[in-house]
Amino acid sequence: MYNYLKIEQDGAIATLTISAPKTLNALNSAILGEIGQAIDALPAGTRVLIITGDGEKSFVAGADISEMAHLDEGEGFAFGKRGADVFRKIETLPIPVIAAVNGFALGGGCEIAMACDIRICSSNARFGQPEVGLGIIPGFSGTVRLARLVGMGMAKQLIFTGKNIKADEALRIGLVNAVYEPGELMPAAKQLAEAISANAPVAVAYAKQCINDGYDLPTAEAIAYENRLFGRCFATEDQKAGMAAFLSKGKAQFQGK
């Protein structure tokens, strides 16, 4: 079905692996298209998505420079918008998305990781936005998300210098949540996904919505937005099941309703 992706479904957890080993999983138009299709085709009942790269050397080494090298202004705009639209689709999925970053996450690789809700990485991971060394800027929303994740000053330093940083520095500045040895990365990602998927799916979706949408709202509006979604939780079967299980000292079986 896909030429550049591997999709694995394990119960409520889906794993999307970008697989273009000859180019270190670099993103071209075809791969971006397939990622968008795969996001749209996630089976009902999926509660968590893990995104990773094929092999231990590279998560996503960047965007495909051989495709970008000959673009004119209009084509460059269209290519950037294609990537930005796909990454926005990841960001706004109602389920949590975990980036399991193995190896290089440069340019578009760093940007797709930043579109995910949670980032964990292997100890050999390398992050960076090296675009200015190629005469361009980050084009898949990197200037937006990096500043929001690590602060404006650090984002400017990383983007203006184009320098890569190691996993421990990415952890220090808050770009990733945790660092693991390469062989421990995917088990850790799946363990995290299982912990999330055990909770009420509607509540998790509402929590993601509150954090994402409320981030840019004035405080009073963000609180009011949270209040509305908090109230909606009480119209769900999951809320009834969760609280009944708590009171009876049992374990809730959430249905996502």
Angle between helices 142-150 and 152-161 (to 10 degrees): 130
Cα(143)–Cα(122) distance, integer angstroms: 24
- Cβ burial of 43 (10 Å; 0-12, 13-18, 19+) is exposed
Q: Which of 56, 75, 91, 111 is catalytic?
A: 111
Q: Among this protein's residues, is 111 annotated catalytic?
A: yes
What string of DSSP letters covers 37-60? Answer: HHHHTPPTT--EEEEEESSSSEEE
Residues near 78 by beta carbon (within 8 Å), at least 6 away in sequence: none
Cα(7)–Cα(17) distance, integer angstroms: 6
Quick one: which of 135, 159, 131 has its CA closest to 63? 131
Q: Among this protein's residues, is 75 annotated catalytic?
A: no
Cα(242)–Cα(251) distance, integer angstroms: 8
- Cβ burial of 70 (10 Å; 0-12, 13-18, 19+) is exposed
Q: Which of 8, 56, 131, 237 is catalytic?
A: 131
Active site residues: 111, 131
